[in-house]
Homo-oligomer: A and B are copies of this chain.
Amino acid sequence: MSAEEASALQHKAEEQMQETELSKEPNEKESQPSSDTAAASPEADEDAFTYRSLVLCGYGGYDKVKLQVMQGMPVPKKGEVMIRVKACGLNFADLVARQGLYERLPPPPITLGMECAGVVEAVGEGVTGRKVGDKVFAVNAYGLWQEVVLTGAQYTFTMPEGISFEEAAAFPVNYMTAYLLLFKFANLQPHQSVLVHMAAGGVGTAVTQLCKLVEGVTLFGTASASKHEAIRQGGVTHPIEYQSYVDDIRKISPKGLDIVLDPLGGSDVQQGFDLLKPMGRLVTYGFANALTGPKKNRMALAKMWYNEFSIKAMALMQSNKVVCGFHLGYLYKEREVFEEVVGKLLELYKQGKIKPRVDSVHHFEQVGDAMRRMQERLNIGKVILLPEPNKEEESKDEAKKEAELKEDTAKDEEPEKEDN
C-alpha cells in the first residue's frame, strides 16, 4: 500500500486534518513563518509533498491512534528545524494521553509522540546550532510521531557518534526522567537504597544504569518474575515481584529505604512513603495504576483517586521525610535544566556508561502492537516506532491489525492488574 492509499483509507473513517494545523503543533508560539527557509523547492512540489503521521483521533483504545498521510511540505519558521524522523520513542505518557487522561495536551485530533530521532532537513531563520544533515533527537510534549517534524531548535540535541536512530529515540525521555529523579529530586548518594517500580521498563532500565554509577547503591526493582533474570543482569540488586514488594523489602532492609521512585500512583505512593527511612525521599512521577487496559477504566481511576497520597505539613515534619513530584511534561520550558541534563547524559553515553536498551521496533502501522506491548508490560527496555513503511510486511500487518482491533474492542474494559 502506498502512502496515498493509506491516506485514502484513513480518510474514510475520520475527518480530514489540515496539514497547517498539524505542522503547528510542536511550536504553537512561533507564529511568524519565515520567508527564507532552507526548503526552497517550488510551490507545486511543496504541495505534493506527503508524510505519515500517527494521529490520536479520539480518546480510547489502541485503535484511536491512526496512521494518516499529511500533505504539503512543512516549512520551518523562525527558530525551528524540520527533521526527517527515523525513529520515535513510545512512553507511558502516550498511553495516558490516548485514554484522555493527560490533561496538558490539546484535544484530538492531535499527533502524539514525545521523542524522536532523525536528520535535519531544513532550518528556519535564526537557527545557529543546527544545520541540514545533522543527526538529532528531539523532545516535546506531543507531535513527534511523524515522518517529518517541525520543532523549535532548542528542543533538539545532536546525536552522539555511533548511536543508532533507534537508540537515540529511546534516549531523551527515559534517561532525562531517570537522571532528574535520581540526582535532581531524590539526591541519590553513595551506599543508599532505592526502589523503582516497573524496573524492566524504559525509565526502570535508565534508573538501573544510572544507579550503577553511584558507589554501593542497593537497587530494589519490581517486575514480573519472568523478567527478574534480565533486570538482575542489568544491575538491579533485588528483583522483586510487585505483589509482595512491601514484605520483600522489609525482610531484606528492615530499616527501610532511602529513596522510592513511584510511577504507579494510588495506594503505592503511601506504601512507598511508609517504606522510607527518616530523611528518605519519595518521588511520585506517574499513575500507571490507572492504566489497567487499553481504555479508560473508571473503576481503576476511582480507586486511584480514592487512594491518592496526601500529606499535611505536620505529619511530614514528624516523619522527617521528603516527597517530590515529577512530571517531565511540565518541565519543557526549563531549557537550562534540559541542556544541563542532556549534556551530562550524552557525556555518560560517550563514556560507555549508559546505553539505551531497545525492547522492540515497530513500524507506524504497528502502533497498536507497540502500545499493547507496553500496556501489558511485556517490554524489557524501550518500545520504538519507525515512520518508514515496512513494505515487505505491509499486507500481513494490515490483516493482523484489523484482527487486533476487533480483539481490542472485546477486551477494552477488562482491568489487568498483573505485573505492575
List chain A positions with a Cβ less than 8 A from chain B. Answer: 184-185, 187, 265, 269, 278-279, 284-287, 308-327, 330-331, 333-334, 337
When C-beta atoms are compared, the residue in chain B nearest to A319 turns out to be B325
Q: Given A322-B185, A334-B279, do A317 and B327 touch, yes or no (CB 8 Å)? A: yes
- Tell me the smallest distance from the CB of A306 to a CB of chain B, in Å: 12
- Tell me the smallest distance from the CB of A333 to a CB of chain B, in Å: 8
- Tell me the smallest distance from the CB of A28 to a CB of chain B, in Å: 20
Asked if B308 and A310 sit within 8 Å, CB to CB, the answer is: no
- Tell me the smallest distance from the CB of A163 to a CB of chain B, in Å: 28
Asked if A312 and B313 sit within 8 Å, CB to CB, the answer is: no
Among A315, A322, A323, A326, which residue has the most Cβ atoms of chain B within 10 A? A322
Asked if A320 and B325 sit within 8 Å, CB to CB, the answer is: yes
Q: A308-B312, A316-B323 are in contact. List 5 more A-B contacts (CB 8 A).
A: A269-B313, A278-B330, A308-B313, A308-B314, A320-B327
Contact of A309 among B286, B312, B320 (CB under 8 A): B312
Asked if B320 and A331 sit within 8 Å, CB to CB, the answer is: yes
A321 CA to B326 CA, complexed, in Å: 7
When C-beta atoms are compared, the residue in chain B nearest to A285 turns out to be B317
A330: chain B residues at CB < 8 Å are: 278, 317-320
- Tell me the smallest distance from the CB of A185 to a CB of chain B, in Å: 6
A284 CA to B279 CA, complexed, in Å: 13
A351 CA to B269 CA, complexed, in Å: 43
A187: chain B residues at CB < 8 Å are: 187
Contact of A325 among B185, B316, B334 (CB under 8 A): B316
When C-beta atoms are compared, the residue in chain B nearest to A287 turns out to be B314
Contact of A318 among B278, B317, B325 (CB under 8 A): B325
A313: chain B residues at CB < 8 Å are: 265, 269, 284, 308-310, 325
When C-beta atoms are compared, the residue in chain B nearest to A262 turns out to be B313
Asked if A321 and B325 sit within 8 Å, CB to CB, the answer is: yes
Asked if B309 and A310 sit within 8 Å, CB to CB, the answer is: no
Asked if B318 and A279 sit within 8 Å, CB to CB, the answer is: no
When C-beta atoms are compared, the residue in chain B nearest to A104 turns out to be B318
A308: chain B residues at CB < 8 Å are: 312-314
Asked if B278 and A331 sit within 8 Å, CB to CB, the answer is: yes
A325 CA to B330 CA, complexed, in Å: 24
When C-beta atoms are compared, the residue in chain B nearest to A325 turns out to be B316
Q: Given A284-B317, A313-B310, A320-B331, do A184 and B325 touch, yes or no (CB 8 Å)? A: no
A270 CA to B350 CA, complexed, in Å: 43
A265: chain B residues at CB < 8 Å are: 313-314
A312: chain B residues at CB < 8 Å are: 308-310
- Tell me the smallest distance from the CB of A189 to a CB of chain B, in Å: 10
Q: Given A313-B284, A314-B287, do A324 and B322 touch, yes or no (CB 8 Å)? A: yes
- Tell me the smallest distance from the CB of A67 to a CB of chain B, in Å: 31
Asked if A325 and B331 sit within 8 Å, CB to CB, the answer is: no
A287: chain B residues at CB < 8 Å are: 314
A324 CA to B313 CA, complexed, in Å: 9
- Tell me the smallest distance from the CB of A279 to a CB of chain B, in Å: 6
Of the A-B pairs whose beta carbons lie under 8 Å apart in the complex, a sample of 28, sorted by A's number, is A184-B279, A185-B279, A185-B322, A187-B187, A265-B313, A269-B313, A278-B334, A279-B334, A284-B313, A284-B317, A286-B317, A287-B314, A310-B311, A310-B312, A310-B313, A311-B311, A311-B323, A313-B325, A314-B325, A316-B323, A316-B325, A317-B325, A318-B330, A319-B325, A319-B330, A322-B322, A322-B324, A322-B325
A286: chain B residues at CB < 8 Å are: 317
Cβ-closest 10 pairs across A and B? A316-B325, A317-B325, A309-B313, A322-B324, A310-B312, A284-B313, A317-B327, A187-B187, A269-B313, A308-B312
Asked if A284 and B331 sit within 8 Å, CB to CB, the answer is: no
Asked if A317 and B326 sit within 8 Å, CB to CB, the answer is: yes
A318: chain B residues at CB < 8 Å are: 325, 327, 330
A184 CA to B286 CA, complexed, in Å: 25
